[in-house]
Structure 1
Amino acid sequence: MTEPLQERIAQAMAELQATQAAVARAEADLRQASTTVRSNDRVVEATIGGQGELTGLKFLDNKHQNLTGPQLAASIMEAVQQGRAQMARRVMDTFEPFTRPGPEDSMRRGVDLDWNRVFGSALSGGERAGSSRSSRNRLRDEIDEDTD
């Protein structure tokens, strides 16, 4: 009876080591990953790193000179939020195989992750659930309201 138990332990250890190696490779790939996104008005280009951090910001063709400060801020926020959402989806896709159980004869169980808790508003590009207006339009509405 101890032999089958020792075989199962050896199998579980081998699966654990393989999973740990795969996770380490995924983490290393994501440390090098980035995505670059342009705002819809094509004024700003933001580069986002694998952990959702802003790693680059460009103002394209000096178009920003024709914008007010709040308009430029809205373009920056839009590009950064879109980039963070793209990177969050990439991270989810990378780690999705680890959330599923292993094959039928496997000891590996899937990991249950609450991606909304991990990424927060980054998943929706910065919009709150149920919000139909983009953050850019909300900012414009606030700007319009503050002109009194």
Structure 2
Amino acid sequence: MTEPLQERIAEAMAELQAAQAAVARAESDLRQSSVTVRSSDRVVEVTVGSQSELRALKFLDNKHQNMTGPQLASSIMEAFQQGRAQMARRVMDTFEPFTRPGPEGSIHRGVDFDWNRVFGSALEGSKQAGSGRSGKNRLRDEIHEDTE
């Protein structure tokens, strides 16, 4: 009777080690991952990394020179939010296999992620709790004028 128990423990350990290795590979791949997005007015292009960090910002064809500060800020924020949403989706797709239960008899139960808690406003179509403001008004709340 100890033999089957020892075998099950060995199988469980092998399964756990394989899952840990797969998670480590996924994390490593994502660290190198990024998305590049252009604003809808095609004024700016941003590159967003896997942790929602802004890796690059480009002003395209000098179109930004004919814009006001708030217009340019809005274009940047729009592209950045789109990039964050795309990267959040990529992260979710990468880790989705780890959220499913394993085959019958497996010790793998699947990890339950609260993606809204992890990514918050980065998810497409999500709104921050208690925020009924449009993106335009939210941007205005973020702009602080210099007073001299």
TM range (shorter): 0.7 to 0.9
Q: Secondary structure at the match of 2:20?
A: helix
SS at match of 2:48: strand
- Confirm or deny: 8 A CA contact 1:82 1:125 kept in the other structure: no
Q: Following the alignment from structure 2 to structure 1, what is the Cα–Cα distance between the partners of residues 126 and 45?
A: 17
More helix, by proportion = 1
User: What stretches of structure 2 of length at least 5 have no aligned partner?
Assistant: 144-148
Asked if 2 retains the 8 angstrom alpha-carbon contact of 1:127 and 1:135, the reply is: no
Q: How many residues align?
A: 143
Residues 125-136 of structure 1 aligned to structure 2 (within 5 Å): 127-128=127-128, 135-136=135-136
TM-score when normalising by structure 2: 0.87
Contact 1:127 1:134 in 2 (8 A): no
1:111 equivalent in structure 2: 111
* Partner residue in 2 for 1:94: 94
**Residue type matched to 1:112 in 2?**
D
Identity of aligned residues (%): 82
Which residue of structure 2 aligns with residue 45 of structure 1? 45
Structure 1 residue 107: Cα displacement: 1.1
The structural deviation recorded for 1:130 is 9.8
| RMSD (Å) for aligned C-alpha atoms | 2.4
The AA in structure 2 aligned to 1:88 is A
- Output the TM-score relative to the length of structure 1: 0.87
Unpaired segments ≥5 residues, structure 1: 144-148
